[in-house]
């Protein structure tokens, strides 16, 4: 299995990695690549509240899965709904048959704990399915431990070329 990952500068706009992966998935699909996975779509936050986070499962006609939860005004805790993230991972897993490439939103805190999309990444490994995802700076050490020498860092501007090569070289 080949796994590609990218990071963005700390000063990148919130949601920039999600937008980049969403566009990449659309472009590759338009080129005829059979893409599986999920992309995160964030609503525009208003001054009073953080954005809502939804996961769209690629190729699934079902509604997006809201992975954020409202914790109330003034709360500062993590708003991720781990159960909803697990639901998204299960839906991705069900749609991977016949895919040539797996796109995932990120290797985040849940994945660092062995949850979230970890089982989907393991499934991709067992199927020699290339994976592309974002790894935030705060999770890079955990990702390196998780992926070992199976992952390759990709510059954001080279994601399309890396994906095309990974699909072409797939056994």
| Domain-wise residue ranges, the chain | 3-168
| Reported confidence tier of residue 75, pLDDT bands at 50, 70, 90 | low
Structure tokens at 23: 């566009």
Residue 3, exposed/middle/buried by CB under 10 A (0-12, 13-18, 19+)? Answer: buried
Q: How far apart are CA 60 and CA 128, in angstroms?
A: 22
Share of the chain above pLDDT 90, in %: 71
pLDDT band at 68 (very low <50, low <70, confident <90, very high): confident
pLDDT over threshold 60, residue 59: yes
- Mean pLDDT of the 29-56 span: 83
Give the model's pLDDT for residue 74: 57
**Starting at the edge strand that comes first in sequence, how are the strands of the sheet with 151-153 ordered?**
65-66, 53-57, 35-42, 101-106, 131-134, 3-6, 151-153
Residue 66 has pLDDT above 50, yes or no: yes
Handedness of CA 110, 116, 119, 121 (dihedral sign): negative
For the segment 44-57, the average pLDDT, to the nearest whole number, is 71
* Cβ contact 118:111 at 8 Å: yes
Angle between helices 16-30 and 159-168 (to 10 degrees): 40
Mean pLDDT along residues 151-162 = 97
Residue 103 reports pLDDT greater than 90: yes
Q: Does 78 score more than 60 pLDDT? A: no
Predicted confidence at residue 79, as pLDDT, reads 67
Burial letters 27-57, b for 16+ CB under 10 A, else e: ebeeeebebbbbbbbeeeeeeeebebbbbbb
> According to the model, what pLDDT value does residue 102 have?
98
| Banded pLDDT at 72 (limits 50, 70, 90) | low
Each residue's pLDDT tens digit, 124-152 = 999 999 999 999 999 999 999 999 999 99
Q: Which helix (H) or strand (E) holds 22?
A: helix 16-30
Q: Which fold has domain 3-168?
A: Rossmann fold (3.40.50)
pLDDT at 77: 46
């Amino acid at each position: 299995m080949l796994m590609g990952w990218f990071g963005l500068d700390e000063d990148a706009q919130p949601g920039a990695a999600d937008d980049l992966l969403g566009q990449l998935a659309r472009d590759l699909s338009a080129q005829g690549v059979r893409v599986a996975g999920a992309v995160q779509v964030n609503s525009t936050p208003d001054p009073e509240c953080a954005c809502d986070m939804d996961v769209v499962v690629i190729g699934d006609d079902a509604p997006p899965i809201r992975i954020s939860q409202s914790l109330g005004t003034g709360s500062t805790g993590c708003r991720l709904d781990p159960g909803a993230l697990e639901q998204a991972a299960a839906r991705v897993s069900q749609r991977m048959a016949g895919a040539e490439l797996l796109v995932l939103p990120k290797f985040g805190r849940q994945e660092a704990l062995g949850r979230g999309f970890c089982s989907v990444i393991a499934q991709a490994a067992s199927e020699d399915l290339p994976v592309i995802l974002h790894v935030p700076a705060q999770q890079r050490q955990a990702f390196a431990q998780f992926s070992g020498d199976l992952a390759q860092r990709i510059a954001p501007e080279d994601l399309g070329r890396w994906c095309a090569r990974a699909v072409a070289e797939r056994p």
